[in-house]
Structure 1
Amino acid sequence: MTLPQEATQPLDPAELLARTTWSTLEHAYGTAEDVPQILLDLVDADLRVRSQALSRLHHVVHHQNTLYTATAPAALYVAGILGDARTLESVEKEPHAFTGPMRAELLGWLDSVADAADDETAATMRRFGFPPEEYPPFVEICRIRPQLFHAASAFFDDLDPDVRAAAVSACIPLLDDPRLIHHRDTLAPLLRDSLVTSAVSPYQARAIDALGRWGQDITGLEVRQERYAFCDAEHRPRARARAAEAQEWDCTDLPF
């Protein structure tokens, strides 16, 4: 199934890498001068090198689901390399990780980045006195959502079911964007076919939640028995924000 593509497409990854002044950007541990090498290593021929690069993408560029000034250009680069055949290579998996090649992992990372800038996260930030429009990394992710959607939606028909599921899931938070919201009715059947029926219960729960928020009929839909040791709250900023509110944590514990 192919959705209409937006006019704005991801930049050429090599051009993006070259024209970005990484020394002026930051990630979790300081200036982002090391990010270009992290990004290049994602498609390295050595399994260990690309696996370490993926780990650093998560734990440095998007540490604990936080957005930094380096996150948006890194996301555009990742979006630009999704079609590279080298992303079909395997990657070392952490315990209880989702299955699939590097391409599925990269889509999952984009999913997490987009989720950290969705409507519910914005509402939570406002409740805690942090207007999202005053946080440049949040604003920048919102700005590039059409490019990210264009890249992820290209894999709705991928031959690998893990890639298909990751692509569909990645587009859920992107469709909070006013420029993309008209795709919800078209995407709803994909959520039912790829995620609601998935053996991965976090995918099921997320799809059912999205369908409900989008005004779709979710009568009779329920999440199957959890098959993975982690829960969605460990990987979604929205779920952790809800937990913070419920337990009255200090706002410094929130993922932004």
Structure 2
Amino acid sequence: MRPPTELDRVPWDDLTHAYGPAGDVPELIRALYQGDEDATGEAIDELFGTIHHQGTVYRASAPAVPFVAHAVHHVPDRRVELLMLLATLADHDPEDAESPHWPTSPVAAVCAELCRVLPELLPCLRDPERAVRRAALRVVAAVADLLSAEFRTTAVSQIEPLYATDPVPAVRADALVVLNWFGRLLEPLESPLPEVRVAAALYRTGRSLTGPNRSRIRQASSSRYSLRLLGSMETAASLLPPQKCDPPCGPGITERPVRPRVREKAYGPGGVEYGVSLRSARIPRRRCPGPRRRRPRAGR
């Protein structure tokens, strides 16, 4: 990580972002520390639109990573957005890392910088705010395929407790997907938590696909892509066991099929979506067929 006092050591004018020379990046990063909510929000908005723009990163993106990572710890009110900025910057298809052009690409430089600062970001996995924990998981997921074997062991040891004991089902589902990317191959289709069941089903669906469809599953479970891009929810739902009706929904009806529903939520500045994906999908509690039961009123 690098504090803002070191911003002048980077030749920003020689680097470029989405709109040309990146000489304005130092002021945007300094604005994060001003304590002015409006100025901070505007700076984050500008960073989302300059060092990252419509899925593209630039030569100025990688040098900005250690400064943004420093701000994660020193601008706590904006921790979620800053973590999501880091995850979005490093988002890539793992197959791209095998390309001969990868080593010289801007996204490779971003991922290398994020891997260097990631050990100092892992404490965010234990943050009391669930949104921070989810964003931290996405940061880990963004570079999961590029981490060393030693650091993977460290990361897994901190993610496993989230999967096992976190009180928020969506956090558990996020942790499940990241652990699977690290080779754990967990598929708890019988989990009592709908979010975890859907995550497991879609992960299995993704493993059975090849080509572009597999890539889209991976992207949707990592960052800014939403489930509406997949077209595979019904396939995933078919893998899930039916839900039990207790008491029975009607004469002879003791089970009902699973029908997942996707809930999308706009997140962050610059139109970036908050990783709406298989882990945030929920199975609705639909009304079962059969006679309608009236809820008794209080005092009767």
- Does TM, scored on the shorter chain, surpass 0.5? yes
Aligned residue pairs total 201
Preserved contact between residue 175 and residue 183 of structure 1 (Cα < 8 Å): no
2:31 maps to 1:59: no
Preserved contact between residue 137 and residue 175 of structure 2 (Cα < 8 Å): no
> For 1:208-229, what per-residue CA distance to the aligned partner results, in whole angstroms no more than 9, with x for missing partners?
4433333321231314633324
SS at match of 1:82: helix
Question: What is the rounded CA distance, in whole Å, between the counterparts of 1:188 and 1:157 in structure 2?
Answer: 9
Q: What TM-score does the superposition give when structure 2 sets the normalisation length?
A: 0.58
How far does residue 25 in structure 1 lie from its aligned partner after superposition?
0.4
2:58 maps to 1:88: no
Q: Which structure's CA Rg is the greater one?
A: 2
- 2:27 partner letter: Q
Change (3 A) 1:215 1:195: farther
2:259 maps to 1:228: no
Preserved contact between residue 211 and residue 218 of structure 1 (Cα < 8 Å): no
For 1:138, the equivalent position in structure 2 comes to 107
Change (3 A) 1:112 1:120: farther
For 2:15, the equivalent position in structure 1 comes to 25
RCO higher in structure (CA 8 A, sep ≥6): 1
- 1:228 partner letter: E
Preserved contact between residue 184 and residue 214 of structure 1 (Cα < 8 Å): no
> For 1:185-240, what per-residue CA distance to the aligned partner results, in whole angstroms no more than 9, with x for missing partners?
324415525598228xxx94x54443333332123131463332459xx7599x9x
Question: What is the rounded CA distance, in whole Å, between the counterparts of 2:101 and 2:273 in structure 1?
Answer: 23
For 1:215, the equivalent position in structure 2 comes to 183
How far does residue 43 in structure 1 lie from its aligned partner after superposition?
2.8
> For 1:61-114, what per-residue CA distance to the aligned partner results, in whole angstroms no more than 9, with x for missing partners?
111121211101111101112221xx233xxxxxxxxxxxx1111011111122
For 1:150, the equivalent position in structure 2 comes to 119
Change (3 A) 1:209 1:161: closer
**Paired residues for 1:2-151 under 5 Å:** 10-15=1-6, 17-84=7-74, 87-89=75-77, 102-116=78-92, 119-122=94-97, 126=99, 131-135=101-105, 137-151=106-120
Preserved contact between residue 94 and residue 145 of structure 2 (Cα < 8 Å): yes
SS at match of 1:154: helix
Q: Please report the RMSD computed on the Cα atoms of aligned residues, expressed in angstroms.
A: 3.0
SS at match of 1:176: helix
Question: What is the rounded CA distance, in whole Å, between the counterparts of 2:135 and 2:21 in structure 1?
Answer: 30
Runs of 5+ in structure 2 lacking a partner?
190-196, 200-259, 278-300
For 2:146, the equivalent position in structure 1 comes to 177
Change (3 A) 1:46 1:230: closer
2:186 maps to 1:198: no
Preserved contact between residue 111 and residue 169 of structure 1 (Cα < 8 Å): yes
For 1:246, the equivalent position in structure 2 comes to none
> For 1:151-203, what per-residue CA distance to the aligned partner results, in whole angstroms no more than 9, with x for missing partners?
3212122222222221122112223224233335324415525598228xxx9
SS at match of 1:159: coil
- 1:13 partner letter: P
Q: What TM-score does the superposition give when structure 1 sets the normalisation length?
A: 0.67
- 2:94 partner letter: D
2:157 maps to 1:186: yes
Runs of 5+ in structure 1 lacking a partner?
1-9, 90-101, 240-256
Question: What is the rounded CA distance, in whole Å, between the counterparts of 1:144 and 1:197 in structure 2?
Answer: 31
